[in-house]
Amino acid sequence: MNFYVNGFMYSEDEKKIVLIKKNTPEWQRGLFNGIGGSIEAGESPEEAIVREFEEETGV
């Protein structure tokens, strides 16, 4: 069984949010989503969301 994380980053005043614009798969092209992905073996959900943010946003 696979487990996943999905997270959102807000500005301090909570008026802005970081989303990604999907390019793949084709049926999701142009849609927006939070940051997330699979939890790797031996990784906590907290570690996974930090890794996913770094991989997908560079932040």
- Residue 1 is encoded by which pair of tokens? 């069984």
Q: pLDDT tens digits for 9-54?
A: 999 999 999 999 999 999 999 999 999 999 999 999 999 999 999 9
Give me the phi and psi of 14, to 5 degrees please: 60, 25
Give me the phi and psi of 17, to 5 degrees please: -135, 145
Residue numbers of the domain that contains 24: 4-57
pLDDT score at 54: 94
Look at the chain and report how many structural domains it folds into.
Answer: 1
Q: What does each C-alpha distance from 42 to 29, 34, 37 come to in angstroms?
A: 32, 23, 15
pTM: 0.78
CB 44 within 8 A of CB 52: no
Dihedral sign for Cα 7, 9, 14, 20, please.
negative
